[in-house]
Amino acid sequence: MEQPKTLQEAIRHYSDEQICIDTVARLRWPNGPECPACGHKEHYYLATQKRWKCKECYKQFTVKLGTIFEDSPIKLDKWLTALWMLVNCKNGVSSYEVAKAIGITQKSAWFVLHRLRFALQTGSIVKLGGGGAPVEVDETFVGGKARNMHKSRRLRMKVREHNWSKTVVMGMLERGGQVKTAVIPERRKVIVDKIVRENILPGAEVHTDEFVGYQGLSDEFTHKVINHLEHYVDGKVHTQGIENFWSLLKRGLSGTYVAVEPFHLFRYVDEQAFRYNHRKDEAGNKLDDGQRFELALSQIAGKRLTFAEVTGKVGESAF
Ligand SMILES: [Zn+2]
């Protein structure tokens, strides 16, 4: 059967449970199934139960075991369709849309999306700037106006200063390459300075605006500051790449996510970063929806998240 290219084709394609199992197995174990208990590679396949049995330790395992799908009553076909929507809908997708498309409750869809988002967090340990291109660094404020919020929500958010209703997102973009983001508690030197050093290779050329938080980077980096008053005297020193990323992010947030609390914001930011970082392959060819989906799926095996981790609340059940 041919690889799906559109959402409609994906829904039809992944409605077959065996196709879902084969797809996840192929991406999870590129060299063939491995026993999650002992790592052994020889096994029997119990076709009727859709399980493997390890020849070494005799334990049985499914393709879901040890993945974020493991303890969920939601079937793989629905997980995969939700993932397809998540990584391919440009402006993001809401739990309402997913619930409608795959026939589950909105609460379940919300949980499914949050698990998938968590699993997609880039968390890459590779620093930016290795390619020799300049790295643009900038911050932006995301969030609604305090007066439009219910009082209990305002209290819950507990944010300070005059920007107290907004959350600060920091972004670092290697020109022509990848973006990394971080949701930070405050726009302060001690925080932004640390994040730059954690994420960018020493020696790289770093472009920022005149914010005092970035003063002090020149000990480790070639730090170039944009002077907005002089209208980019040096045309190569700018932060337009990261500013474009902010527009994408804000379009998604305002169009799709009506009210994102600061606690959850980093997941939405990561989701947008994932789409941005996977718009092309290493050779610069545009990825199609099916390729982006497979890439995402290959990345999420082995990651798990409990409901408490998703919500920050302990003692509630998922469904
Ligand atoms: Zn085993």
Q: How far is residue 253's CA from residue 275's CA, in Å, rounded to a whole number? A: 14
Query: pLDDT class for 213, splitting at 50, 70, 90?
Result: very high
Q: For strand 222-225 and strand 205-208, is the pairing parallel, antiparallel, or unpaired?
A: parallel
Question: How crowded is the C-beta side of 2, counted as CA atoms within 13 Å?
Answer: 4
Q: What is the mean pLDDT of residues 67-74?
A: 83
CA of 67 to the centre of ligand 1 (A): 16
CA of 246 to the centre of ligand 1 (A): 47
Q: What confidence score (pLDDT) does residue 305 get?
A: 44
CA angle at 299 for the pair 117 and 128, rounded to the nearest 5°: 85
Q: Report the pLDDT value the prediction gives residue 2, as an integer from 0 to 100.
A: 75
pTM over 0.85: no
pLDDT value for 144: 54
Give backbone dihedrals phi and psi of 282, rounded to 5 degrees, phi first. -60, -30
pLDDT at 158 over 60: no
CA of 51 relative to ligand 1 center, distance in Å: 13
Q: Quick check: helix, strand or coil at residue 3? A: coil
Amino acid letter, 229: L
Residues for the chain: how many in total?
319
Distance 39 CA to ligand 1 centre (A): 6
The answer to whether residues 166 and 159 touch, using CB atoms and an 8 Å cutoff, is: yes
In the reported structure, the alpha carbon of residue 42 is separated from the centroid of ligand 1 by a whole-number distance in angstroms of 8
45 CA distance to ligand 1 middle (Å): 13
- Higher-pLDDT residue of 2 and 147 is 2
Rounded-to-10 torsion of CA 11, 17, 21, 27? -10
Instruction: Point out the least confidently predicted range of 42-51, 105-114, 194-203, 291-300.
Output: 291-300
Distance CA 111, CA 318 (A): 7
Residue in the block written with tokens 């902010």: 246
Calculate how far, in angstroms, residue 66's C-alpha sits from the geometric centre of ligand 1: 13
